[in-house]
Amino acid sequence: MIYDIIIIGAGASGLFAASNIKLKKNQHGLILDKAKKPGLKLLMAGSGQCNLTHAGDIKEFVTHYGPSGKKIRSIIYNFSNDMLKTWFTDRGLKLMTRDDGKVFPETMYSRTVLDLFLKESSRNCFELRQSHDVVDITQLSDNNSDSVTSDKTTDTIAQSIDSSVKDSLFRITVATASGKETYITKKVIVATGGCSYPATGSDGAIFSVLTALDLELIPCKPALVPLSVEGYPYAELSGNSVKQAQVWIYEGKHRKKNSPTMRGDVLMTHRDFSGPGIIDMSRYAKNGYTLEINWVPEKNPETILSDINTMRKGNKKQLISVLTEYFPTLTQAHLRWLCQRAETDPAIRFTDVNSDKLKTLIRFITSDTFTISGTQGYKVAMATAGGIALSEISTSTMECKRIPGLYILGEALDVDGDTGGYNLQFAFSSAMRAAAHISDEI
């Protein structure tokens, strides 16, 4: 049989594409997935509650994809957060928006989203096969017919096809528990995700298949991941969180005007920095780069120094009491720890604090700098930075410019969004873009 469409990957983007391509009775669509069950990562999303997207103005929305934001603007605009919400509600899945803008199914249960996608895919006549690991994609042109596998059925089909048609077909080779199988299809959608949480099936192995087709791969690294730093000093403060700290990441010792930065909550764990302010910035991190944190960005460092000097004269209160009053957003435990790092006794009378030590202390508060030493890797990263270069695809169809009939979606592309629903939105928007084009074509 020649399939009309084969979708590789039954995750967020693959299932959403299948949910939006209505096959006719005589057409054949197949979803192949290497994991034992579909949508494993979708089930984990938002701690099992599924943060589907983020509310708010679409212009601001696209600023949450780092440097890729500009390139994918048309994909997001074409199927926006509001359109996604309508898609779900039209199909009876009610949504709720939290105060922080995150959008969830009203059930707060990812399973309801996955079940809807499986129902819609099956209604659109897509067959789903699990434990089918795609290990090769080949264009069935005469030029490479020598590389046809020994699969007799596929060979017979391939030989019987007119060579003009053959040029536009693909052979998909799959490893299964019972050996290799091959399939022939007119169109292929690669919806295989990135490399994070490899146990869910998206382990990045597909990238060698895609680079064999001469597609450019932007090197992958873990994103949305806590950051380890040399000499991490806050292990004892594990669980301490600072709201809306300012975080920068840059190469070398000196921050530049255009160094990436954002404000966000920073969490101290027993071994590294975490929280949205860190993990959303992690796409910029490299070993040896500097991580700088201003714990109190709402105050100007010069103002702090002048306020402190004014308050200091004759002030017999303990240093820690003054700091706790002046920096109400920081916990006393954190301030004590900062005093210790500045080699200053928090119990000393404020008036007696050495001026240089006070400056050092304020520097730690407003510009706490560390050398990045790594991450905990793909096991804990919620996304992948890198993937197939966006320049390889047309952003109006998601089709590869040099390989018509081959589409790439979601995290398999060089796109990673912030936490808060941005990655699923891209998976859905890119899937809708391809689905619309394919529906027009077939």
Q: Which residues of this chain interact with ligand FAD, rule CB under 6 A?
A: 8-14, 32-35, 40-42, 44-46, 51, 133-134, 191-193, 196-197, 200-202, 205-206, 382-383, 410-412, 421-424, 427
Q: Judged by CB, which is closer to ligand FAD: 17, or 339?
A: 17
- Mapped onto helix, strand or coil, the DSSP state of residue 185 is strand
Cα–Cα distance between 158 and 149 in angstroms, integer?
11
**Minimum CB–partner distance for residue 363 and ligand FAD (Å):** 36
Least distance in Å: CB of 262 to ligand FAD? 17
3-state secondary structure of 203: coil
Q: How far is the CB of 335 from ligand FAD (least distance, A)?
A: 33
Q: How far apart are CA 37 and CA 49, in angstroms?
A: 18
What the block records as the tokens of 248 is: 């920068």
Nearer to ligand FAD, 9 or 346 (CB): 9
Query: Do 7 and 187 contact (CB within 8 A), yes or no?
Result: no
**Nearer of residues 202 and 344 to ligand FAD, judged by Cβ:** 202
Nearer to ligand FAD by Cβ, of 206 and 285: the residue is 206
Q: At how many degrees (to 10) do helices 12-19 and 422-441 cross?
A: 40
Instruction: State in angstroms the smallest separation of the CB of 51 from ligand FAD.
Output: 3
Alpha helices in 213-346 (DSSP H): 276-279, 301-312, 319-326, 332-341
For residues 8 and 422, give the distance between their C-alpha atoms in angstroms, rounded to a whole number. 22
Burial of 286 (0-12, 13-18, 19+ CB in 10 A): exposed
Residues 6+ apart with CB under 8 A from 336: 320, 346
Q: How far is the CB of 142 from ligand FAD (least distance, A)?
A: 26
The enclosing H or E element of 15 equals: helix 12-19
Report the alpha-carbon distance of residue 250 to residue 434 in Å, rounded: 36
* Pick 69 or 233: Cβ nearer ligand FAD: 69
**CB-nearer residue toward ligand FAD: 9 or 277:** 9
Cβ of residue 185: shortest distance to ligand FAD, in angstroms?
A: 14
The minimum distance between CB 415 and ligand FAD, in angstroms, equals 9
The nearest distance, CB 37 to ligand FAD, in angstroms, is 9
The HSE-up count of residue 377 (CA atoms within 13 Å, CB side) is: 3
What's the closest the beta carbon of residue 276 comes to ligand FAD, in angstroms?
Answer: 12
What is the per-residue DSSP string for 340-362?
A: HHTT--TTSBGGGS-HHHHHHHH
Q: Which is nearer to ligand FAD, 46 or 105 (CB)?
A: 46
Bridge-based pairing state of the strands 29-32 and 126-129: parallel
Question: CA-CA distances (angstroms) from residue 236 to 160, 232, 331, 368, 417?
Answer: 70, 10, 13, 17, 31
Q: Which is nearer to ligand FAD, 53 or 294 (CB)?
A: 53
Q: Which lies closer to ligand FAD via its Cβ, residue 18 or residue 23?
A: 18
Sign (positive/negative) of CA torsion 72, 77, 80, 81? positive
Identity of the residue numbered 349: R
Cβ atoms of residues 166 and 141 within 8 Å? yes
Comparison of 54 and 437: residue with beta carbon closer to ligand FAD:
54
In whole angstroms, the minimum distance from the beta carbon of 202 to ligand FAD comes to 4
For the CA atoms of 223, 229, 233, 237, the dihedral, rounded to the nearest 10 degrees, stands at 10
